[in-house]
Amino acid sequence: MIEKLYKKSLLILIIFILGTLSMLAPVNAEPTHVSSITDGTGGAHLLNPIGVYVSGNYAYVGSTGSNALEIVDVTNPLAPVHKGSITDGVGGALLSFPSSVYVLGNYAYVASANSKALEIVDVTNPVNPIHKGSIVDGVGGAFLSMPIWVYVSGNYAYVASADSNALEIIDVTNPALPVHKGSITDSIGGAHLIHPVSVYVLGNYAYVASLWSNALEIVDVTNPALPVHKGSIVNGDDGALLNGPRGVCVSGNYAYVASQTGNTLEIVDVTNPALPVHIGSIVNGDGGALLNVPVVVYVSGNYVYVVNWGGNSLEIIDVSNPAAPVHKGSIINGDGGALLNAPAGVYVLGNYAYVASLNSNALEIVDVRMAPPSVTVSFPPPDGNNGWFKTSPVSGTVQAKDLANVASISCTGATLRDLSGIGTPSATANLAVSGEGPHEVICTATDGIGNTGADTGSANTATLRIDITPAVIMSLSVYPTEIWPPNHKMVDVIISGTASDTISKIKNVKIEITDEYHPLEPSVFTPKIKLLSGGTISFIQHANLEAWRNGDDLNGRVSTIHLTIMDEAGNSIIAERVVLVPHDNSK
């Protein structure tokens, strides 16, 4: 089947790939195998898969050996399962050698190379996908000889037709009746479109990787009925490495091109589509990069994901600086059980890369977070007031999770105790924080592949404040302490003092005066605090006490002054003084 299809460049490419499968080098492993599903598992049609597209909870795979569109449920990436499929001929479907899949809304658009057709499948019910419509080479003027790649934007499908040397544009407003809208072929207006094999559309431009033109072609598709050459860059232009460009993806102002013959990822600045310029590149071996026959590229954030037929690998490249791309990580066939024998397609969604592995007859799922474990620090609610703890040590926990296993946990601001679960996907430890004052606890972890820190979204920090010591009363004065004569007049008693708390500071002062003649009717005062320095305060309170006692009260009338000073944490200190109206004035 493959020999029949690739009677030109693709046949030569596969022969070359098979000759280079042994040329593998060990790499620093970072991304990790999560799971896979192979041909026949649960009814899956995954013989020689090439194209893959992920939408929602489903991966849509073009399986060239099965002549099928396979739908895999990836709700749980750890356990992908066959959901549904449709094969060539079923209900009129044209699915002979489906090489590329694009999903938009309820429809999957498939470039079927041997059928020379764009096939549209209704996937509203993933269990039972059905043929909706199709268009074949020549119908209405369509150029669809060996369609290799399809990209859908708005109401149009853009198809790279290798043997037509053309970019074909199809109106899919009515999926049941797609129609030829426009096209542009090699040399028209200066277009470089010899054997185009990949297309990406952004805004008003289509970016085409033209394998035999050794070029990135940019087409203005503002008018889909009349696409026109806008600009191009060919191998060697200003240092561009575009020897056999096979895959293209565009993000922002940059086009990322996988050049299979040059074993290169080329980065082109397309800020001015009429004059694209070389901005940077990385070749096989640079910093450990695995770029042995790179064929498909996907961009997500600051990373480019490249599948390599010759290297049997998924390569991850950091393009934070497009002028200086660097190897970030890679995974090769067999690493941790990964099925990556001649990977031919890749799609990245969230934390996972979904790879169509041609010779593994599998859909491989790889964790590509390149992120450290998620770390969660937990402490109980404070037992004091205003967010303060009144006990020490304060006990808490830390938990780290990572599919690549947790190799270690470390914390600052707390003592780590009773560590367990190291070497598994979940590790925990107890934390102890001692000593008065504020404490900042920060915990990080390292996974089994060397990523250190705390993943985005981690609750890996905590701020604790501990104060277990009440304030110190530095002075307390009551004047007068004895009232005479007992003439029923009200006497002004002055209560004053100073106190200090250097940790949580003093919150309030309360004075309660209990008269033994009226024990159930205490007088309560909250004197105004005057802040001094270093956590020290002063206070003064005036209270009127009656100058009288019962004539037969030989002990005199006693009023007890209860002073309570509370700090912000809720720690209290109490002091007492008495004021006496004596029975007599004898000394």
- Helices (H), ranges, 378-532: none
545 in any annotated domain: yes
Same domain, 548 and 483: yes
Same domain, 461 and 479: no
* Averaged pLDDT, 37-50: 98
Same domain, 458 and 497: no
- Domain final position from 403, 438, 466: 466
148 in any annotated domain: no
42 in any annotated domain: no
Q: How confident is the model at residue 30 (pLDDT cuts 50, 70, 90)?
A: low
Same domain, 505 and 539: yes
Q: Is 140 helix (H, G, I), strand (E, B) or coil?
A: helix
Same domain, 242 and 335: yes
Quick: pLDDT tens for 257-305.
999 999 999 999 999 999 999 999 999 999 999 999 999 999 999 999 9
Same domain, 304 and 216: yes
If one compares 372 and 358, the residue with the highest pLDDT of the two is 358
d(CA 400, CA 454): 9
Which CATH number do you get for residue 501?
A: 2.60.40.10
527 in any annotated domain: yes
pLDDT surpassing 50 at residue 10: no
Please report the pLDDT score of residue 483 as a whole number: 97
Please report the pLDDT score of residue 587 as a whole number: 53
Is-contact 24 332, C-beta < 8 A? Answer: yes
Same domain, 498 and 545: yes
Quick: pLDDT tens for 121-175.
999 999 999 999 999 999 999 999 999 999 999 999 999 999 999 999 999 999 9
| Residue type present at position 5 | L
d(CA 441, CA 461): 5
pLDDT surpassing 70 at residue 15: no
Same domain, 507 and 565: yes
One DSSP character per residue, 257-291 reads EEETTTTEEEEEE-SSTTS-EEEEEEETTGGG---
Same domain, 302 and 205: yes
Is-contact 471 565, C-beta < 8 A? Answer: yes
3 in any annotated domain: no
Please report the pLDDT score of residue 22 as a whole number: 30
% pLDDT > 70, the chain? 94
Q: Residue 388's Cα: distance from chain center in Å?
A: 33
Which CATH number do you get for residue 412?
A: 2.60.40.650
Q: How confident is the model at residue 371 (pLDDT cuts 50, 70, 90)?
A: confident
Structural domain of 258:
186-223+234-344
Please report the pLDDT score of residue 449 as a whole number: 66
Which CATH number do you get for residue 197?
A: 2.130.10.10
d(CA 254, CA 269): 5
d(CA 404, CA 209): 36
262 in any annotated domain: yes
d(CA 398, CA 375): 7
123 in any annotated domain: no
- Domain final position from 300, 329, 344: 344
- Domain final position from 466, 498, 524: 466
Count Cα atoms within 13 angstroms, Cβ side, for 46.
33
Same domain, 443 and 571: no
Q: How many domains does the chain have?
A: 3
Same domain, 378 and 526: no
Which structure tokens are listed for 259? 């050049």
Please report the pLDDT score of residue 292 as a whole number: 97
Residue 56 makes CB contacts below 8 A (sequence gap 6+) with none
d(CA 150, CA 261): 22
Q: Is 172 helix (H, G, I), strand (E, B) or coil?
A: coil
Element (H, E) at 3: helix 2-5
Same domain, 405 and 336: no
101 in any annotated domain: no
Q: Residue 145's Cα: distance from chain center in Å?
A: 41
Please report the pLDDT score of residue 404 as a whole number: 73
Please report the pLDDT score of residue 198 as a whole number: 98
Residue 329 makes CB contacts below 8 A (sequence gap 6+) with 27, 28, 29, 30, 31, 316, 368, 370
Query: Sheet containing 472-479: which strands, arranged edge to edge?
Result: 472-479, 490-500, 536-546, 530-531
Strands 303-308 and 32-38: unpaired
Q: Residue 13's Cα: distance from chain center in Å?
A: 36
